[in-house]
Amino acid sequence: MPCLVCPKGKTASLMEYRDNPGGGCYDRRVSGFGFEILAESSVSDEKRDSEDTKGCRARLGKVTTPHGEFDTPAFMPVGTKGTVKGLLPQVVRETGSQVILNNTYHLMLRPGSELVKKMGGVHRFMDWDGVILTDSGGFQVFSLGDINELNDAGVTFKSQIDGAMVRMEAEDSMRIQNDLGADIIMAFDDCPPAKITDIDGQSPAGRHAVSDKEYDTRNRQAVERTVNWLKRSVDAHNNDAQALFGIVQGGTDLAMRSECAERVVEMDLPGYAIGGVAVGEGHEKMMQITRHTAPRLPRDKPRYLMGVGYEKDIVAAVKAGVDMFDCVLPTRNGRNGNAFTGQGQIRLRNAQYKEDARPMEEGCDCLTCRRFSRAYIRHLFMADEMLGPMLVSIHNIRYFQRLMVDIREAIRKDDWSIVGANRPVLDMDA
């Protein structure tokens, strides 16, 4: 958008208007936040920036925040309610995790952002000395909440804790995230439901899906609200130590993705996210969206694919130019006795592991694999002992962090065989 006060007609971000209403344009920096690209895949700039979906755009980088740095591509374990379920913070650190995600929706409902702020912010509250990202709460409102009203101003939903009606708008999301004090915060957005014809198999997301006709209208609404709510989020955000990321919506409609990306990027933010994926559309459709959208986000800003995912999703998205990922799979599956390995998932409740003295995965350096057998872990699950879910969660998080280490090394050496070695589950030759 053209700057109203700059005689050169320079483009200015909404934050520049807000913080410098009486003068010319200037660059506004988030205190202590930065992103550096250290290496990129060896393809030409023309191919990297083209529509050629086969061009590898992977990049190795580092994000700097007031609470430390993290290497990219990065995987963030999900600490929904201020804890990665069942694991002490130092144990999460020992898995190689440098950044974790907290959930605004859940922390708003309990214990409340005001209490977290009073306790010194979420880092001190949960004793995590690394980087924290908080989502905006929008996705959980739309996927978990019993919505009473959704309009262009915001959403009213029923609390899943006590049934109270709660109103959330962009300004509320910013206030809550400012109170929590995470290093990276997300703009409030409208995540549209999936289209019935895009649902892959028996995905649980199908229960929220809408008809093709309804989808077009709802998707347009979501893009307009996401852009407008981003502007309001920028205006309401009042902590320069927190980097505010914008989110691109648009569903499976690539033209809508392009439009939303263009309008969101106009805000000139520290980073950007691709939202509204992994909602039942399947791997190929998800990657089509990602390959289309990622090149439309600034090269010099971190790119975040929200809620993803399985190993093959992460590898493909990294090759599309994505830098950050989060997903509940490692811990959710871990609590249910499902362990990730390079050969595929193993279900530890199965009788075949009753007398299996092997570690969860040969060659894994996690605490679980160094010290415990499959037979012992199976016993813990069969006896309903809490240690079982803890041990598998530790292994699963470390498994994903080892994958990220190998991905970063593959980019550094320009050798993707590093990632495929001992991981037939990835099927790198497919």
- The packing angle between helices 374-382 and 387-413, to 10°, is 140
Q: Write out the DSSP string of 255-315.
A: HHHHHHHHHHHTT--SEEEE-S-SSSS-HHHHHHHHHHHGGGS-TTS-EEETT--SHHHHH
148/165 Cα distance (integer angstroms): 8
> Which of 135, 183, 189, 323 is the catalytic position?
135
Nearest Cα neighbor of 105 from 130, 63, 62, 134 is 134
At 54 the pLDDT is 61
179/239 Cα distance (integer angstroms): 9
CATH for the 73-327 domain, from 3.30.470.20, 3.40.50.150, 3.20.20.105, 3.40.640.10: 3.20.20.105
Six token digits for residue 345: 């998932």
Q: pLDDT digit string (tens) for 245-254?
A: 999 999 999 9
At 178 the pLDDT is 98
The answer to whether the predicted template modeling score (pTM) of the entire model surpasses 0.85 is yes
Please name the residues in contact with 315: beta carbons below 8 A apart, sequence gap of 6 or more.
403, 407, 419, 426, 428
Please check whether residue 195 is in contact with residue 212, taking contact to mean a CB–CB distance below 8 angstroms: yes
- Residue 392: count of CB within 10 angstroms of its CB: 29
Residues of the chain with pLDDT under 50: 1-28, 44
Six token digits for residue 143: 């996927």
Q: pLDDT digit string (tens) for 2-56?
A: 332 232 333 333 334 344 433 333 234 588 999 999 999 876 455 555 555 567 9
> Which of 189, 198, 326, 406 is the catalytic position?
326
Taking CA atoms, 183 is separated from 81, 237, 244, 302, 322, in Å, by 16, 13, 9, 14, 19
At 209 the pLDDT is 85
Domain ranges of the chain: 73-327, 337-430
- Residue 210: count of CB within 10 angstroms of its CB: 16
At 9 the pLDDT is 36
- Residue 130: count of CB within 10 angstroms of its CB: 18
326 is an active site residue:
yes
68-72 and 303-305 strand pairing: unpaired
At 412 the pLDDT is 97
At 21 the pLDDT is 36
Please check whether residue 302 is in contact with residue 271, taking contact to mean a CB–CB distance below 8 angstroms: yes
